[in-house]
Amino acid sequence: MITTARLNATRYAPPGTDPVALRLGSDGRLWAGEGEAARAVVVRRCFPWSEPARYISLRDENHREIALVRDPIELAEPSRGALLDAMAEAGFLFEVVRVFEIEEEVEIRQWQVETKQGPRVFQTRLDDWPRALPGSGFLIRDVAGDLYRLPAPVTMDKRSRELLWAFVD
């Protein structure tokens, strides 16, 4: 959900609707709004630090908050895709390119993966499953709150597909 501040009034939108449209511009920046009213914004992580992929503040060049995104999953496409891409650029989102190993331990699943940002090891709770993203791919949130985007498994190498088959369709 996005909360937008306008003249000291706060407007809430139901999940799947956006009071502020988000898009990536040809200049690579995230833009909020449409037409002449569109402004370039930057993403800033808010508290709590235990939820780094939630509560994302979108700020203009004067550091004023334009919108607050509670959870990117609640946004409609294409705003969600634009925000996730901007978060990835800001280091909030890791893009998985290969899965090396998935081990289950007591209450925890440990993932060893290669991301576009380099090798990573992270943990998820056993009852946390990858969430399907509109279009294709999946999103995983680890126990520290970091987000990992998996592409459609059919686009991944054989070993990755074999490891993922039990977790995704």
Work out the angle at residue 87's Cα, subtended by the Cα atoms of residues 18 and 89, and round it to the nearest 5 degrees.
Answer: 135
Residue 28 pLDDT level (bands cut at 50, 70, 90): confident
Q: Would you state the pLDDT for residue 53?
A: 74
CATH architecture under which domain 93-164 falls: Roll (2.30)
For residue 52, give Cα distances in angstroms to 57, 71, 90, 99, 103: 11, 10, 12, 23, 24
pLDDT of residue 19: 61
Measure the CA angle with vertex 83, ends 81 and 86; round to 5°.
Answer: 110
pLDDT at 97: 96
| CA geometry: angle 68, 28, 97, nearest 5 deg | 90
What residue ranges do the domains of the chain occupy?
2-89, 93-164
Rounded to whole angstroms, the Cα distance separating 10 from 102 reads 43
For 72, list phi and psi in degrees, rounded to 5: -55, -30
Using a 10 angstrom Cβ sphere, with 0-12 exposed, 13-18 middle and 19 or more buried, the burial of residue 128 is middle
Residue 109's pLDDT is what? Answer: 95
Residue 85, classed as helix, strand or coil, is helix
Burial class (CB in 10 A: 0-12, 13-18, 19+), 20: buried
Residue 17 is predicted with a pLDDT of 53
Q: Are 155 and 135 in contact (CB under 8 A)?
A: no
Residues 75, 28, 139, CA angle at the centre, nearest 5°?
40
**pLDDT digit string (tens) for 108-166?**
999 999 998 899 999 999 988 898 887 788 989 888 878 898 999 999 999 999 999 88
The pLDDT, as a whole number, for residue 11 is 38
Residue 1 is predicted with a pLDDT of 44
Confidence at residue 91, expressed as pLDDT on a 0 to 100 scale: 66
pLDDT in tens, 69-124: 888 888 888 898 899 888 877 767 888 999 999 999 989 999 999 998 899 999 99
